[in-house]
Structure 1
Amino acid sequence: MLGAFEKEAKNMSVLYVEDERIIREQMKRLLGKFFADVKIAEDGEKGLAFYQDNPKAYDIVMTDISMPHMDGLEMIKAIKAINSVQHIIVLSAHNDADNLLKAIDLGVDHFMIKPVYREKFLHVIQKAVLRIAREREIKTIEKLYSDVMTGLPNRFKLLKDLQEQYEQNSPSLFLLNIDNFKETNDLFGYDAGDFVLVELSKRVRALLPDDNYNLYRIQGDEYAILINCSVPSSEYLGLVERILQEANDRPFLYQDLDIYITLSISVVRGEDGYQGEDIVLQANRAMNIVKEKKKSFLIYDPAQWTSEDYKENLKYTRMIKEALHNDKIILYYQPIWNNRKQKIGKYECLVRLVDEEGQVHGPFKFLKIAKKTKTHGLITRRVIEKSFQRFSQQNIDFSINLSVQDILDEDIVQTIRKGLIDQKIKPGQVGFEILESEGIENYHEVMKFIKEMKTLGHKISIDDFGMGYSNFNHIIQLNVDYLKLDSSLIKNIDQDIAAQTIVRSIVHFTKKLGIKTIAEFVHSEAVFNKVRELGIDFSQGYYIGKPSMYLMGECEN
């Protein structure tokens, strides 16, 4: 910890305010051993003057309380008015409750009573420095919500905005997709294709009436418009027509060449009440209909799918019930490659359902139905029991997926406890992957589970990181061992500069915290090579191995 502190402190500055000359000189010598710059002031008035000259210059302010001209508390109040998040440490001979309460009320980070002993003081400033360093990393990463090419906010910003805006109202969403854009790249080259993407973003943005309409570039040839206000149906149609006219009817002039494209648009209205990523899923659903029926646009109407949805839900409800009764909830295993050791490091256990005709179903549809029909917990317990039996007394690491809902289910947690003992699972052999995109709100119960499993030596991963909220603060608080990067970050990373920038920052952030990274959706040699180049610790995807009922090297007959 001391090495990390010294490394970070070399890039930080301190303002130290103390009226006693001997203490000032001693502290200046001590702080000077660690920090890049130490500014000294003999009272609050001069300390505040230094701070006002350049508020961004000081990472930490340390101050006494009782001083002439202006005391420390007055100075802190004035500093907080300038920068409410300034890190402040109080060192005072006043051990009275009144000053302590005032300091706390002003938002100081630590209160130390003089005399201050070196060991205790170093412990406090170490914590402050490492906290500041972590906050800097978080700010750096969270700024990476924009698309490098177009300057538009990207998919991660869209998901973040969707989550925040649903706390206030129900926004509407447009998806815009360039038809057959690969042909444009193949015919005119990637530079011309990039020009079209940038120019299209400018044209569409110019058509948006006000700040309630926000344009995003989601990926490749796809854009989104998030409307954060109530809009009449006529306005939907009017905006769609204007966008199609700009995109489809006006050529894009590139080096004296006229490049024509066509655009497809799907719309989900706010009044339909979809939340979070559901609105994106429904917009994608509508876009599929647009493509299939070769339309130019479609406004999603839930009534059109309600009857079909009911039939599908009933089918899967029966299928789940029969699978549980007939022991047809099975596991597939996908290898996870250790990029440093160049060998398979572990396997992820993936649930599958076998219907009465022998067809194997992936979890995307039936797990959603299971959650609604209260059978999700039964499926999770089967996965736990079967995975523990499969790897019992083997020297092979494996992981299973848990939702926050699973962790809050005492029956599931008890199944885990019992299975670890009965199946003699070795310490560190099993990892628990918690889905990040669901959001982790009940910290107390989740932390309790994590602490219990880590005490037993097992590992904790955050799954699909980058898909949903991407809350870096809870990554720090939860003390996880692995971050599994979502497929949206990885699948085009060999070509996507924005994704490379984001992943590079995440890897830098996690290495400082001692967290390992796993790349999902490693589907090609080019992606695999880029993943390793970026310093990601593990790779998972079809290039490494498809999910199978068998482990690598086992006979399938």
Structure 2
Amino acid sequence: MHSISIHCPSIDDLIQKLEGVQPPDLIQLYGTLAIKEAKPWAIYLSQRFPEACRIGMASQRHISNGHVKSDGATLILSYFEKSHLVHHSAVYDGNQADQSGQSLFAPFLAEKEEKQANVYIVLVDSKDAIQDEFFNVSQQHDLTISGGRAGIFDYENSWVLYQDKLYQNQSIAVGITGKHLMQQRDVFVDNIAIGRRMLVTASEGKVIKQIDHLPAQQIYQRYLSNGEKISITLANRFALTTVHNNVEINAVPLRWESDGGILMSEALPEGASVKFLYFHPAQSLHSITPKIQHLNEQRPDSIFVFSCISREDFIDEQPTDKLSLLNQVLPLHGTYCFGEFFTTQFGTRIMQHALTYLAVNESGCGLKREAEPIQIANEDDSLAPMFNLISNAFQDLEQEHASLVSSNVTSKNDASNNETSRNDWLHDLQTGLLNRFSLLGRLSNKEDIFHLAVLRIRNFRLINQQYGYNTADDLFAQLAHYLKRRLSTNSVGIEFTCYRLSANEIAVSIHSDIAPKKIVRLFRNLAEDIESQEFSTINKIEHLLTLSLSVGMASAFDELGEPLCEQAHLLIKASEARRFAQINNQPIYWNGDLQDHATSEENLDWILKIRKALENDDILAFFQPYYDSQTGEEVGAEALLRARIDGKIVSPAFFLDLIKQTQLYAKITLAMLSKCERILNTYPNVHVALNLSVLDFKHYATLKALREFFKRNHVNGRLTLEITESESIKDYEWISPIINEFREAGALLAIDDFGAGYSNLEKLIALNPDILKLDGCIVKTIDTDEKLRKLVQHINSLAHSLGIKTQAEFVHNSAVKQLLVDLKIDYLQGFHLCEPLSESEWLEQYNDETN
């Protein structure tokens, strides 16, 4: 596809310039014309190009081939080769904005999914600001929208064009559909939030009367001119910003009222929490240059601009500031609006003082091109660092204040502490971020967190080992800065706070009530971008490193608004989701999708019960014997974990997966080891098998306890270490020396649940186990399944050829037992032979058999 634009001061000029022009597919007409003046233009275009889709609107300024025009009209002609257009128009009623939006998009949504438009251009005429509810439909159906609200300074003569008619209080949408159509969009807002939060205490429509119970004009004069009167022109550069119904509102002062109030460009409701917003291009000019350079490399076919009428980004028709940067990619076509539409992850927002663009490419190939660097000509960015300093300082003060209040720092007990000591304990000294203690205080005492994300750097240890702690900490700080910068952009528009939880974990609390799926999508995209980002080291020789992440997300409410997790438990659930993501090699996981559907309260209740069981010695070992298949004699017994909860014996199936995520798991392993040690020392001829997971070998305290156990005891083959979850062994070179150390100390090694998954047979055999335990899933049906019977036979033959004994679990009937005996499996275990017994029952049975 391609687009051209033609600026015409008059309709006669239009007629002349359109001679010989081929009929386009899409016409956009943007004119500094009153509605009566625009009618002849609409009639002529319908006669000249009757087959084209024709849209447009009144615009105080418009852009033709990269030049800003403020007279006549600009005609944008677009020619598509592989895409087609669908379009519709509907009345816009500000009192029924949601219904108006539904009416506009209903014909599009009635199409089959494969025919849904990739992107929509939407134009609206309204005498008042567009209501947020108009775009509810876009959030419900994930529609991507660009466009804006019509506007000339003479409001009564504003209009929109649809085909051959001009309308007022009307909305228009054009959907562009193409199998290979690619679209890129962005939004740039030259603003910085400055100062403390204030409360709108009286307002009427668009007139804000009082702020913090003082006349609104007095607040402006106090902060901007130390109490002196200021001009509305100066005040116009300082909007008031707030978030209402998840949409950012930037209200610009338009007129001083005689009663001390201020007429604003947008309505600010009473009770709104507002801050000053200063418009200045230096704040973000450098930060957006890489984005425009990336756009340049993507080779768009056309770029349509929808910019705010308040932006002074041209001199003598020549674009300046960000508009000039975009113009280096392609000659721009577009218009200026009284409110720009831009779709984010959280729906379509109505922006103010924003520059938005829609770049379209029909090829869909995604090939990059070698492009000249985008140039910033004669810029003076000396103010940018100052603006960033002010913004970050106020953000830190707000977050610190929230944490101080949440943690009751201002209590009488702390009154004697000096200011420095009272604040330092809330922060991580290396990065300046708030710390875990600050987050816990806020979670417990301040009901303002809707979602919590926990991000862990998975390769942090390797970076530490290769480049040192200073480099690793610096990379963490770079990650924190990257996150804050990405989340602070106007295209995201959420309230958030960052915390450092540990050496390699960062948490982000979200204070905006946004649907979980949109937050999950946001952090999935963030994680993907971070992993493709290169971070530089601070060594003398610069190295470019990439970070590998696992992300867990927890929400207080589900998609339907039903409670999902108490705020106080968000960190537990986010950490649980992050661990699940890492174990299952997924980039992100959400607490609402966790397989364990138990509530946070139930999980915490189990943790408390197991902690109490440990304290009261109610962690028990039950023993299930296993037998020699040929003689029928008992060879030994496997120690099985049980817990006495409220007087009942409880299987680990109810709590072990949860407990593995806590420090209690290591204590349970040590308790089971202690019970086995006591039995081995009391009964010199007893053989016991103890289950250990790969997690146990990675836990320092457990590994240390095992080494001390073997120093104290000479087990001489009477203790078998059964390695469970062998599928999770990733680093055989790491675990092999540990296992060999314990075997040299007298332990036997068994691989548990062999055949349950896709075991790496070669590497498992390389561990040189003494016993392979065949999983119940391949044993329990060998009496009816010939294929499984042959599989067991082959595994048994292979093991015996390597000098490894075999043991079958889940022997549940006499037919299975007899087949295993005939196959000469070495050891048999199962309910058909003996159920798990308490320690006293098993020892009594053992003594009877021995006698």
Going by fraction, where is strand more abundant, 1 or 2? 2
Q: With structure 1 as the length reference, what TM-score do the two structures score?
A: 0.44
Q: With structure 2 as the length reference, what TM-score do the two structures score?
A: 0.29
Going by fraction, where is helix more abundant, 1 or 2? 1
Structure number with greater CO (CA < 8 Å, separation at least 6) is: 1
